[in-house]
């Protein structure tokens, strides 16, 4: 049975105010898109209403870089939320600007957030996020608290586990789900734009993390709203859940239902594969009819099950030229 392809991840900006080890490594020589090459809000809405929604897309996620850096983010959220066909809208953020934007985003109609929280230790967090000092952790924590207080649900916290850096915090991070209805998601470290770090540190399988948590508290099946690939579990009696995203050890390419639209308008069918990608921005600005763009995207959507199968067969080996921060994760 083929998955319905109905989920679009929209990168709003390829810049970030963090420089996370696993996403935008120190010393990386990145070429950012010119601001005039970003899809405008009107172009994004035009593509949604005239191309993607007619093809059956109803679930959307705004990503970056860091999407909260994008000017007018609140107005764009409100516009997408109020499209009649929108069934779900979420944002993935590092949380640094969330304390001041959580309320406006909630007022605009956003209800789901994914926030990166790779450590509960300010020094470790700073090491993973890049930069100096310890203030970033406290600012992000304030953002998480604000989102919780305002009522975002489900509130998901993303943790990329890197051996020798934050793997010793697995139990502390898992414990966040016991007393709060938070949903901690452990993500296997992947080699995208960070080959030297990956080769040096390696990665930890989700099964190993699950076993560690199960030994401490026990672990049963769980459920949480969302469109992602996480396998969901729950500590007995906990208010929240634990998710495990296991692309390295338990490839889920065969059940992928998403496409990715970059900030500069490239539509790609796969995180790890640029095969068949379409430059929607250039076509749109060149006056290519929306009907033609819809047909082109429809062909790529039709090819995705075969791309999924090939990626499943080959594991995580793909053809890609951008880092995770540039792709949108």
What are the backbone dihedrals phi and psi of residue 198, each rounded to the nearest 5 degrees, phi first? -65, -45
What digits encode the pLDDT tens for the residues 168-199? 999 999 999 999 999 999 999 887 666 666 65
- Grade residue 121 by pLDDT with cuts at 50, 70 and 90: very high
What digits encode the pLDDT tens for the residues 280-313? 999 999 999 999 999 999 999 999 888 776 766 6
CA geometry: angle at 209 spanning 94 and 113, to 5°?
25
Which one is predicted more confidently, 3 or 145? 145
Residues 165 and 124 sit within 8 Å (Cβ to Cβ):
yes
Question: Does pLDDT of 221 surpass 60?
Answer: yes
The per-residue pLDDT for 242 is: 98
pTM for the predicted model, two decimal places: 0.92
| Closest among 282, 289, 323, 273 to 39, alpha carbons compared | 282
Share of the chain above pLDDT 70, in %: 87
Any idea what DSSP says for residue 227? S
Contacts of 235 (CB under 8 A, 6+ apart): 174, 177, 178, 213, 217, 218, 219, 220, 242
Q: d(Cα 311, Cα 251) in Å, to the nearest integer?
A: 9
Q: Where are the domains of the chain?
A: 7-327
Question: Does pLDDT of 166 surpass 90?
Answer: yes
Q: d(Cα 183, Cα 179) in Å, to the nearest integer?
A: 11
Residues at the annotated binding site for S-adenosyl-L-methionine? 22, 65, 116, 190
Residues at the annotated binding site? 9, 16, 20, 22-23, 61, 65, 92, 116, 156, 190, 253, 256, 258-260, 270
Question: Does pLDDT of 107 surpass 50?
Answer: yes
Lowest mean pLDDT among 70-74, 200-204, 231-235: 200-204
Contacts of 309 (CB under 8 A, 6+ apart): 253, 254
Count of alpha carbons within 13 angstroms of residue 100, beta-carbon side: 6
What are the backbone dihedrals phi and psi of residue 82, each rounded to the nearest 5 degrees, phi first? -90, 5
Q: d(Cα 13, Cα 274) in Å, to the nearest integer?
A: 19
- For residue 240, the SS3 value is coil
Question: Does pLDDT of 320 surpass 80?
Answer: no
Which one is predicted more confidently, 307 or 137? 137
Residues 121 and 159 sit within 8 Å (Cβ to Cβ):
no
Q: DSSP for 1-65?
A: -PPP--EEEEE--S--S---TTTS-TT----PPPGGGSPPHHHHHHHIIIIIGGGT--EEEEESS
Q: DSSP for 97-142?
A: THHHHHHHHHHTT--EEEEE---SSHHHHHHHH-SSSSHHHHHHHH
CATH 3.20.20.150 fits 7-327, yes or no: no
Residues at the annotated binding site for [4Fe-4S] cluster? 16, 20, 23, 253, 256, 270
Q: d(Cα 199, Cα 156) in Å, to the nearest integer?
A: 29
- Three-state SS annotation for 277-323: CEEHHHHHHCCCCHHHHHHHHHHHHHHHHHHHHHHHHHCCCCCCCCC
In the chain, the N- to C-terminal Cα span, in Å, equals 26
The per-residue pLDDT for 33 is: 87
Residues at the annotated binding site for GTP? 9, 61, 92, 156, 258-260
Which one is predicted more confidently, 254 or 293? 293
The per-residue pLDDT for 7 is: 97
Which one is predicted more confidently, 170 or 31? 170
- Grade residue 318 by pLDDT with cuts at 50, 70 and 90: very low
Q: Hey, which residues does 261 pair with through a beta bridge?
A: 10, 267
Mean pLDDT over each residue of the chain, to the nearest integer: 89
């Amino acid at each position: 049975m083929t998955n319905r392809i109905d989920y679009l991840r929209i990168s709003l900006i390829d810049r970030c105010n963090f420089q996370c080890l696993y996403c935008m490594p120190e010393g990386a020589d990145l070429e950012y898109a010119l601001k005039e090459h970003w899809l405008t809000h009107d172009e994004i809405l035009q593509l949604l209403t005239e191309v993607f929604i007619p093809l059956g897309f109803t679930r959307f996620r705004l990503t970056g870089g860091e999407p909260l850096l994008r000017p007018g983010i609140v107005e764009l959220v409100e516009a997408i939320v109020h499209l009649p066909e929108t069934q779900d809208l979420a944002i993935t953020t590092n949380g640094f600007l969330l304390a001041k934007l959580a309320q406006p985003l909630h007022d605009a109609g956003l209800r789901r957030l994914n926030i990166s929280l790779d450590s509960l230790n300010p020094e470790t967090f700073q090491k993973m996020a890049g930069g100096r000092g310890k203030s970033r952790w406290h600012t992000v924590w304030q953002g998480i608290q604000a989102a919780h207080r305002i009522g975002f649900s489900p509130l998901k916290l993303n943790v990329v586990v890197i051996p020798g850096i934050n793997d010793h915090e697995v139990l502390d991070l898992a414990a966040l789900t016991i007393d709060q209805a938070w949903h901690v998601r452990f993500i296997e470290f992947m080699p995208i734009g960070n080959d030297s770090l990956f080769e040096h540190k390696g990665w930890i399988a989700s099964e190993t993390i699950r076993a560690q948590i199960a030994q401490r508290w026990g672990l049963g099946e769980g459920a949480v709203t969302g469109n992602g690939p996480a396998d969901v579990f729950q500590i007995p009696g906990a208010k929240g859940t634990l998710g495990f995203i296991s692309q390295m050890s338990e490839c889920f390419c065969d059940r992928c239902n998403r496409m990715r639209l970059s900030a500069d308008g490239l539509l790609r069918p796969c995180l790890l594969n640029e095969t068949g990608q379409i430059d929607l921005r250039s076509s749109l600005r060149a006056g290519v009819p929306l009907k033609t763009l819809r047909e082109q995207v429809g062909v790529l959507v039709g090819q995705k099950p075969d791309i999924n199968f090939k990626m499943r067969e080959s594991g995580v080996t793909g053809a890609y030229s951008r880092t995770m921060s540039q792709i949108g994760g």
